[in-house]
Amino acid sequence: MKTDALPSPTLPTGLAELQELLLTERARREQAEAELARLQALSQVPLLNPNPSLRVNKDGQLLYANNAAEGLAQEMQGTGPSRLRPQLLHAATQALRSGEVTRHEVVANGQYFVLHVVPVLEEQTALLYLTDVTNQRQAEKHNDERREFYETVLAHLPAVVTVLDPDQRYRYINPYAEPDPVKRQARIGMSFADHAAARGLPTALMVRRRRLFERAVQSRELVSWEERWPGPDGEPNLYWLCYYQPVFSSDGGLREVLCYGFDITVRRQAEARTRQSEAERDAQQAFTNLVLDLNPNLIWVRDAQGRTIFENAEMRSQRQHIAEVAGAASMEAAMSKDEIQEAIQADQQVLRTRQPLTTQFSMKLGNGETQWYQTVRCPLVQADGTVQVLGVSTDITALKKAQHAAEAAATARENFLANMSHEIRTPLNGVLGMTSLLAKTGLNEQQRNYAAIIQHSGRHLLNVVNDVLDMAKITSGKLELEQSAFNLCDSMANAGQPLAIQAQEKGIRVVGTLLRDSCPHPWVMGDSYRLNQVLINLLSNAIKFTPPGGTITVGGYFVRETEDTLTTEFRVTDTGIGIAPDKLETIFQEFTQAYADTTRQFGGTGLGLSISRALVQQMGGQLTVQSELGKGSSFAFITTLPKASAEARAAALAPLAPVHEATVRGARVLLVEDNPVNREVAQLLLEGHGVIVDEAASGVEALEMFEHQRYDVVLMDIQMPGMNGLEATARIRAHADATKAATPILALTANAFRADAEKYAAAGMNDTLPKPFDEAELLSKLAALMGGGTPLPKATTAEPVATEPAPAVESAAPEPAAPAKPAPTTPNAPLYNLALLHETAHGSIAFMNRILTSFHTNTPASVAELRTALAAADWPAVATVAHRLRPSLNLVGAARVAPHLQTVESKEATDAERRAATEGFIAELTALLDGLPERVTA
């Protein structure tokens, strides 16, 4: 190969020339080195670029990648995950095709890039420059989200928000200020003056807005004000609270003014209502204070520490009065420590229990007088939960004085009644007792009639005394009702039985509507004596005021029944003289009858209806009357009584222990009685039954005799001169000999108040016997005290057989049988006992003989009916006959038939039980007809 030789350099010819050559060469070398350094530096630029830079050919082959594009280089070479490669190649191809620099945004894995592609056409390559704008895009997104958030807040903010430019033109209006988006957009750029003119708002409003705008800009501070806009369609005005907040740029120039406002119409209306309410409250408070100050009671409020919160005028006046009378600085200074402590304790009790408290409080005044107050304290709970005491005190000094005077008068009246009762009953005891003894002697018919008249008159006088005492008990509130089990049907029968015969004698027809017809469970708890008293009074009045030939209807009706109570109605209707309408209330007044001549014509005290109404009211009922003058009257009352338990019913049905003469015969009794007549009566009665009687006329004499003799029973009078019966009883109970100290003591008293009986029991007496006493009752109580029997019940208590009125009463309807199981047979009971007949006849032998004759005349036919019904097993017919015979059997005291009657009338008995009972009933009736006398002589 041939190589052309280079021309030989021209060598320097001289030193100077050599030096110049060397310097030139040196300069050239330094320039070449500098250029090389510059080129080397330029070659490092792509490598030092923090953004990826790539160079690819038209086929997508990577020709170059700087350090920042290391990951992309792997992707472009196909060794890494393909994220941007498709987008980059597409952009490079597009740039090479168009021959222009292109700009793109590409996204991969949450990263944002701006891609610039520079085509190199002569080389068919493309330079790709990527800039990471992820942070910028995230910032822009965040700003967009914040802007959207604030716009949402402003759109939903319940307030008007607008932005005004320095020329007062709208830049922004939120939807609350203008809901219509079209109108909202139309207002942008409009001034408030234009808007006010378009809306027809007052010019004064526009002027005021401009002035406030300028004030906010000049003061560079927030400005607030209130506006009142007319409401739409004539509604009340709208109230707005508005603000101007100027916003300045960094150079101090006004940029914009924020205007926002709140609808405060509701608040203003509430404030107006509050002001009105406060005015009304103040007026009400003033009225309340006036009422409280005019109230004559003392009204006050104290807190838990005892501090006075409120006092009315009367309380303040009383404070001043009490302090002035005592010469003290305050009311508290005039009160004693005990009085103050009593008030504090009452307040504390109310605060502790939070329950009202009523107390009476007395205060000793400085002038020696005592002031009485009745105070009602109530808890007053405040809104914060604290409790105060509200007190209302009433000056009851005058009432106390009147009460003391009334109590003194009542005591005097009670003492008077007790003394009068004693003074009347004491001689009456002698009259009745001696008459009873006289009737047992050999008298002729005329003498027996005279004795019966005396006995009847004495008992009538005793009834008058009892009426007066009952009225006294009622008016003094001391009448108490017994609570014992009794059969309501029997009670009705016992009330009507004696009087039905009396009505028959007068020629009056008595019709009975039997309670048992509609009342299957008649056992109740109550006072049968008082119930009978009312029924007897009503029936007695009906007989008294009904002429012969008239009719009296006695009705008992079932009203309703619950698990615990029984409600019944009793009605007595007559065809008598009747009562005028203007007298219907007068007849219930004490000692009052319908007409002035009623007492003279018919008799009576005028107390019966007063007592009856009071008794019915005390039993929870109401005595009513319906009457037509000349045609008759109808008296009725309804009672609701508790049902008797099975135990109480069993106790009431328990057979009474008979009083045998052998129980009291030979007993030694100390009779302490200052009245000689009463002593003689009691002695004769007791000695007639074999009782040994020692008499003492005073308490002192009784103690002397008691010291030297043992007694089985002491009969102790209460009111005696010197040492009374209570003092003598106390001495006996304090005796050193325990056996003698326990001697039974029976109080003999003419005092009829229950409180007296309770007082005697508290003094140590075992029982009480009121004067005038009944012979049987005296013997019964003696036997009971000696442990030989049970005291007889009150005279009104039914015998075991009695359940319905006497034969003279016609039943208005057939009566169902009483639900009762057979009672134990009493074979030792007497065949008959004429005590009830004797009492009913008031000792009249003629009356008793009429009843006995009627019994012997009519009963055999009933026995024949029973035999016929027994043969036919017609048990309803047996029950009907038995029911018809029951009153007559009760009247003659046929106690043996009681178990048979209960069985044949029972709905629960079996046929076998009914047959056996009917056979026994017939046998007892046959024996009774053989043994019962047809006449008595004494």
- 724 CB-near residues (< 8 Å, 6+ apart): 699, 718
- Say if CB 534 and CB 494 are below 8 A apart: no
* CATH of 817-938 given 3.30.310, 3.40.720, 1.10.10, 1.20.120: 1.20.120
* CATH of 157-263 given 3.30.450.20, 2.40.160.20, 3.40.190.10, 3.50.50.60: 3.30.450.20
Task: For 155-167, give the DSSP string.
Answer: HH-SSEEEEE-TT
- 530 CB-near residues (< 8 Å, 6+ apart): 481, 482, 615, 618, 619
Q: Which amino acid is at 579?
A: I
Residues in the chain: 938
The pLDDT value given to residue 750: 64
- Describe the strand order of the beta sheet including 238-248 as a list of residue ranges: 170-173, 160-164, 254-263, 238-248, 223-229
The architecture (CATH level 2) of 49-137 comes to: 2-Layer Sandwich (3.30)
- Decide yes or no: CATH 3.20.20.140 for domain 658-785: no
- Say if CB 743 and CB 714 are below 8 A apart: yes
Structure tokens at 924: 């007892």
How far, in Å, CA of 905 to CA of 882, rounded?
7
- For the chain, 938 residues long, the average pLDDT of each consecutive 10-residue run is 55 73 79 70 62 86 83 72 79 89 85 89 90 87 83 80 93 89 90 84 85 94 88 76 93 93 88 89 86 86 90 87 81 83 90 91 80 91 90 88 78 67 67 72 76 68 66 65 82 70 80 68 84 84 88 87 89 87 70 42 54 84 87 90 86 57 83 77 78 92 93 90 90 91 88 69 89 76 74 38 37 37 47 75 63 77 86 86 76 83 83 90 87 76
Structure tokens at 921: 């009933």
The pLDDT value given to residue 797: 34
C-alpha gyration radius of the chain: 61
- Describe the strand order of the beta sheet including 767-770 as a list of residue ranges: 692-696, 668-672, 713-717, 745-749, 767-770
Burial class from Cβ neighbours inside 10 Å (0-12, 13-18, 19+) for residue 573 reads: buried
- Say if CB 514 and CB 804 are below 8 A apart: yes
- Say if CB 835 and CB 893 are below 8 A apart: yes
How far, in Å, CA of 512 to CA of 866, rounded?
24
Per DSSP, 521 falls in state -
Q: Which of 363, 393, 355, 388 has its CA nearest to residue 376?
A: 393
Task: For 817-836, give the DSSP string.
Answer: PP--PPPPP-TTS-S---HH
| 61, 160, 563 from 118: Cα distances, Å | 16, 54, 111
CATH class (in words) of the domain with range 409-476: mainly alpha
The H or E element spanning position 301 is strand 298-302
The pLDDT value given to residue 61: 87
How far, in Å, CA of 886 to CA of 835, rounded?
17
How far, in Å, CA of 301 to CA of 309, rounded?
5
- Say if CB 510 and CB 552 are below 8 A apart: yes
Q: Which fold has domain 482-648?
A: Heat Shock Protein 90 (3.30.565)
- Say if CB 876 and CB 909 are below 8 A apart: no
The architecture (CATH level 2) of 295-395 comes to: 2-Layer Sandwich (3.30)
3-state class (DSSP) for residue 721: coil
The pLDDT value given to residue 163: 93
The residue whose two tokens read 């509609």 is 518
Q: Which of 589, 668, 578 has its CA nearest to residue 626?
A: 578
The H or E element spanning position 302 is strand 298-302
The pLDDT value given to residue 148: 81
